[in-house]
Amino acid sequence: MELGILSITGNDTGRKAALNDAVFAIEPNDHVIWLDVKQYLANQRQGTHKAKTKNEIHRTTKKLMKQKGTGGARRGSLKSPLVRGGGRVFGPVPRDYFFKVNHKTKQLARKSALSYKAKENNILVIEDFNIDTVGTKQYLSILKGLNITDNKNLVLLGAHNENIYLSSRNVQRNQVLLANDVNTYAILNAQKLVVTESALKALTEVLAK
């Protein structure tokens, strides 16, 4: 599969970029995509939720009422879960939501996501570019030239560029990542995948093994 390489103004450069079939044209595996996305979202959870149990509540332990004859449930103190402000039964405690997904499974998930994007014609290949000074306006002009200002975009770079990153971080519905750092969730969450020439090369080298 080949795509025309665009300039940052949206014009065709006359050159073609070959998309490796082993990365962009495989039969997508929905199950491994689900696994990889599930792990990514689980890792975003802080896991710091906490509710106090009965033994952690500081309230009086004086017996509130007689044991029987009230018609209500027995409660021994204000710490009881039956009382407003009492401890919680089986409440959440801090935990780590991480679970393991094999490296080959994650690679297959990324290739499946990229194949979906290629099949839907939602991949744009552009020439490598640079922004001399940090400025959101310059970055927006590039998106305007590519006619993708109304989309949720993921821009992949071959190498870190501080000016591009800083210029893009105030733009809503837009994300800039290195090709080596891209994940399945980011690919699927974007409507348009904008890949520079160097990023395409890096993706192919990593995933076509």
Same domain, yes or no, for 120 and 181? yes
pLDDT higher than threshold 90 for residue 1? no
Same domain, yes or no, for 30 and 76? no
Same domain, yes or no, for 144 and 117? yes
Q: How confident is the model at residue 70 (pLDDT cuts 50, 70, 90)?
A: confident
Same domain, yes or no, for 187 and 113? yes
19-34, pLDDT tens digit by residue? Answer: 999 999 999 999 999 9
What pLDDT, on the 0 to 100 scale, is given for residue 110? 97
105-119, pLDDT tens digit by residue? Answer: 999 999 999 999 999
pTM, 2 dp: 0.85
The CATH number for 32's domain is: 3.40.1370.10
Evaluate whether 157 touches 203 at the Cβ level (below 8 Å).
Answer: no
Same domain, yes or no, for 198 and 124? yes
Q: Name the residue type at position 7.
A: S
Residue span of the structural domain in which 67 resides: 46-96
- Which contacts of 85-90 are long-range, i.e. CB under 8 A and separated by 24 or more positions? 85/57, 85/59, 86/54, 86/57, 86/59, 87/52, 87/53, 87/54, 87/55, 87/56, 87/57, 88/51, 88/52, 88/53, 89/53, 89/54
Same domain, yes or no, for 33 and 129? yes
Same domain, yes or no, for 66 and 122? no
Q: How confident is the model at residue 99 (pLDDT cuts 50, 70, 90)?
A: very high
**Largest distance between two CA atoms of the chain:** 91
Indicate the number of domains in the chain.
Answer: 2
pLDDT higher than threshold 80 for residue 209? no
The mean pLDDT value for 141-158 works out to 94
pLDDT higher than threshold 80 for residue 139? yes
Sheet-wide strand order for 174-178: 12-18, 2-6, 123-126, 192-196, 153-157, 174-178
Same domain, yes or no, for 65 and 13? no
What pLDDT, on the 0 to 100 scale, is given for residue 24? 94
Same domain, yes or no, for 108 and 118? yes
Q: How confident is the model at residue 67 (pLDDT cuts 50, 70, 90)?
A: confident
| C-alpha–C-alpha distance, residues 152 and 174, integer Å | 6
What pLDDT, on the 0 to 100 scale, is given for residue 208? 86
Domain boundary among 79, 96, 113: 96
Same domain, yes or no, for 69 and 126? no
Q: How confident is the model at residue 63 (pLDDT cuts 50, 70, 90)?
A: confident
What pLDDT, on the 0 to 100 scale, is given for residue 74? 84
Same domain, yes or no, for 104 and 178? yes
Same domain, yes or no, for 156 and 54? no
